[in-house]
């Protein structure tokens, strides 16, 4: 089974990864686990003034802040996972990655960063579920 785990570094991400680790049947050999994080794009006017290598370094650093504790936790659980970082609008990128990567299951936390934004605009989880045909497990 190919599982895509969407992570943003929020407490819900930690709950989701702990939930995954607590269900050993998902961690047996043969399952392919990929952890994805999506960084919001830097505004175009700012990117025009920045060196491409500096911008890439910024995105890589932001992703590593999220991946480092997850690598540590999953490593202690004996889980070998792939880590993927993309830039864009989180809901769109996660849904497209889940479908184009032929994943069997998408896991994501019910909430992430920016609760006020979620109140006004709708949550990333809601948008992913609405725009994705891959079976999705929402972990609270």
Q: What does the buried/exposed string (b/e) look like for 61-70 if buried means 16 or more CB atoms within 10 Å of the residue's CB?
A: ebbeebbeeb
- What pLDDT was estimated at residue 85? 97
Please tell me the total count of domains within the chain: 1
- What pLDDT was estimated at residue 121? 38
* Tokens 């995954």, located at residue: 20
For 62, the token pair is 């932001």
Distance from C-alpha of 90 to C-alpha of 7, rounded to nearest angstrom: 10
- What pLDDT was estimated at residue 91? 92
- What pLDDT was estimated at residue 95? 96
- What pLDDT was estimated at residue 12? 82
- What pLDDT was estimated at residue 111? 63
* Segments forming the whole domain that contains residue 73: 2-139
Low-confidence ranges of the chain (pLDDT < 50): 115-117, 119-122
- What pLDDT was estimated at residue 61? 96
- What pLDDT was estimated at residue 28? 63
Distance from C-alpha of 20 to C-alpha of 1, rounded to nearest angstrom: 13
* CATH number assigned to the domain comprising residue 59: 3.40.50.620
Distance from C-alpha of 47 to C-alpha of 99, rounded to nearest angstrom: 29
pTM of the model: 0.86
- What pLDDT was estimated at residue 70? 93
């Amino acid at each position: 089974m190919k599982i895509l785990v969407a992570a943003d570094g929020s407490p819900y991400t930690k709950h989701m990864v702990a939930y995954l680790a607590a269900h050993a049947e998902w961690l047996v050999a043969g399952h392919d686990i990929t952890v994805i994080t999506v960084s919001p794009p830097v505004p175009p006017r700012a990117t025009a003034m920045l060196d491409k290598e500096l911008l890439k370094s910024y995105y890589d650093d932001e992703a590593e802040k999220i991946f480092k504790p997850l690598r540590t936790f999953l490593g202690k659980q004996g889980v070998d996972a792939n880590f993927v970082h993309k830039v864009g609008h989180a809901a769109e990128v996660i849904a497209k990655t889940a479908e184009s990567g032929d994943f069997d299951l998408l896991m994501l936390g019910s909430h992430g960063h920016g609760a006020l934004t979620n109140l006004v605009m709708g949550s990333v989880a809601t948008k992913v579920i609405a725009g994705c045909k891959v079976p999705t497990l929402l972990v609270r």
